Amino acid sequence: MNVYISATLRNFFGRNAKVSVTASTVRGVLDFLIDEYPESKKIIFDESGEIRDFIKIYIGDEDNTSSDKWDRAIPQDTEVLLLPAIAGGAPNDSIISDERRKEVSFDDSEVERFGKHLLLREIGVKGQKRIKAAKVVIAGAGALGSAVIQYLAAAGVGTIKVVDFDEVFLENLQNQVIHTTRDLKRPKVASARDTVRNINRSIIFEAENARLDSENIIDIISGYDLVIDCTDNYKARYLINDACAFCAIPLVFGAIYQYEGQVGIFNLNGGPCYRCAFPAPPPAGLVPTCSEGGAISPLPGIIGSIQANEALKLIIGIGEHLDGKLLVVDSLYLHTRIINIEKDSKCPLCGEHPTITGVQEFDYDDFCGLKENQEEAAIEGFTPEELAKRIEDQDSITIVDVREPHERAILRFPNAIVIPIGQLVRRMNELNPDQDTIFICKQGQRSILAINTLREAGYTGPLYNLKGGLDAMKDIVFSHEGAWL
């Protein structure tokens, strides 16, 4: 049978999208994969030998992650899917009430503007009025948000609130098509506001130039009909999911990585939440983020358009949607699949005995591995300036690059030893324990994981992290060079 490997896991499986496996059970599949790809054991299982919380195992569209299903016979010609967080059934009524719909009216220009919607039997005048009455929060004005914001504005959503704390940088323009060159260094929400005004000036656009956190999220989303998650990090995804659950607001989720995307609907009418699908994120640094791994330009447009489509169907109350399901799109190999997400009775947020009672009581930094614990606090590091000085002084140091091959193709660090994280333990004899060893990656997270991995394996030499990674070194100029590293 074939095992489909999600894009975020392929580095642990020889970069293969599919692996042909001789096995008849899930347990046999996992044993085969670990024998064939020993480095995959670290990504699939935690230190206690349990399947990691951010990984799901599907046979067809059935969740077989629970170990009590691992010895069941797998039907022939059935594909097995290893799906990590990167992170439909028939709809209920519209999320916009009839009372609010009846309060809306159109002028002649709106009748002309939305004529193609009015011609659709499923939308018509009533549906378009619901769209105009809707109030939607879009978290993130980046790659996914670019498509979602523009399509919902073009569709006539009456009130759109966009939340983002960042500014527009040149590297954003490859796939964040809501921004242009003239918007460089401007707040993304300001750039998005100008684009929406050019699409439809009658829309109420609310720009929230802020970083979502446990202190402000409830106030930001309260009173809105729908939240669309277009963020790019695990902390924001769990925070948004939890806040939506507490406010009883449905959530349209989307995520992208390289050529793969996911879309789902959570917290709708007692349905599963994001935690039911992925109880925990991967350890910080173990799986590269979208900013580290990249994404092909059209992918956020594809996934964001599907998010906008799901949002409009919820607002209008039509069609089938992704409530309790997850759509997985692989744009490189043209694979799409819809898998079922079951509500977890043990979910700490929406299960039978919830333990998460409020966003302000939950430590999202600690949960997502972003909070320095005692072990991580002991990790020493060099600033870019300090490392540059040691290189200039020709100190006896070892620099280990743990980035992926495509990252090194863009920017090669001179005289660095290349050792992927999965190979560190078996190759630690290549390091000199009497010499300072500095680990580098793109943003400084994977290098911390590399140091902890070596320490757990018993390596006793001095280990250091490049603070902020190579992104922080972009302005460093060496005396013998005319440009940064």
- What pLDDT is attached to residue 9? 79
Q: Amino acid identity of 369? A: G
Task: Say which CATH number the domain at 333 has.
Answer: 3.40.50.720
463-466 sheet: strands from edge to edge? 380-382, 463-466, 436-440, 397-401, 417-418
Residue 242 has pLDDT above 80, yes or no: yes
| Short-list 99, 139, 121, CA closest to 232 | 139
Structure tokens at 197: 């005004």
Tell me, yes or no, whether 320 lies in a domain: yes
Domain boundary among 367, 385, 409: 367
Catalytic residues: 290, 441
Q: What is the pLDDT of residues 15-39, one digit of tens each?
A: 787 888 888 888 888 888 888 888 8
| Short-list 112, 114, 146, CA closest to 130 | 114
Q: Is the same domain home to 290 and 186?
A: yes
Over range 162-190, report the average pLDDT: 94
Q: Is the same domain home to 141 and 241?
A: yes
Q: Is the same domain home to 284 and 385?
A: no
Q: Is the same domain home to 43 and 174?
A: no
CA distance 188 to 185: 9
Tell me, yes or no, whether 352 lies in a domain: yes
Look at 5-9, 63-67, 142-146, 274-278 and tell me which has the smallest mean pLDDT. 5-9
Structure tokens at 249: 């607001």
Residue 372 has pLDDT above 90, yes or no: no
Q: Is the same domain home to 38 and 151?
A: no
The β-bridge relationship of strands 380-382 and 325-330 is unpaired
CA distance 262 to 275: 15
Structural domain span for residue 42: 2-84
Q: Is the same domain home to 250 and 317?
A: yes
Tell me, yes or no, whether 55 lies in a domain: yes
Residue 349 has pLDDT above 90, yes or no: yes
Mean pLDDT, the chain, rounded, equals 86
Q: What is the pLDDT of residues 382-436, one digit of tens each?
A: 888 888 888 888 888 999 998 877 677 677 787 888 988 778 888 988 999 999 9
Domain boundary among 84, 119, 154: 84
Name the pLDDT band for 89 (thresholds 50, 70, 90): very low
Tell me, yes or no, whether 300 lies in a domain: yes
Q: Is the same domain home to 204 and 318?
A: yes
- What pLDDT is attached to residue 150? 98
Structure tokens at 480: 């013998």
Residue 371 CB neighbour total at 10 angstroms:
13
Task: Say which CATH number the domain at 385 has.
Answer: 3.40.250.10
Q: How many angstroms separate the most distant Cα atoms in the chain?
A: 79
Q: Amino acid identity of 259? A: Y
Q: What is the pLDDT of residues 57-86, one digit of tens each?
A: 888 777 888 888 888 888 777 788 887 765
Q: Contact 187/172 with Cβ under 8 angstroms? A: no
CA distance 106 to 369: 50
Percent of the chain exceeding pLDDT 90 equals 48
- What pLDDT is attached to residue 378? 59
Phi, psi of 480 (to 5 degrees): -100, 10
Tell me, yes or no, whether 239 lies in a domain: yes
Residue 221 CB neighbour total at 10 angstroms:
22
Question: Using only C-alpha atoms, what is the Rg of the chain?
Answer: 24
Residue 282 has pLDDT above 60, yes or no: yes
Tell me, yes or no, whether 64 lies in a domain: yes
Q: Is the same domain home to 144 and 228?
A: yes
| Short-list 281, 245, 242, 241, CA closest to 367 | 281
Q: Contact 84/9 with Cβ under 8 angstroms? A: yes
DSSP string, 26-62: HHHHHHHHHHH-TTHHHHHB-TTSPBPTTEEEEETTE
Q: Is the same domain home to 351 and 379?
A: no
Tell me, yes or no, whether 227 lies in a domain: yes
Domain boundary among 336, 367, 398: 367
- What pLDDT is attached to residue 285? 58
Q: Is the same domain home to 386 and 436?
A: yes
- What pLDDT is attached to residue 309? 97
CA distance 436 to 76: 53
Q: Which residues of 310-331 are buried (b: 16+ CB within 10 A; e: fewer)?
A: bbbbbbbbbeebbbbbbbbbbb
- What pLDDT is attached to residue 408? 74
Q: Is the same domain home to 349 and 379?
A: no
Structurally, how many domains does the chain consist of? 3
Q: Is the same domain home to 40 and 163?
A: no
- What pLDDT is attached to residue 449? 82
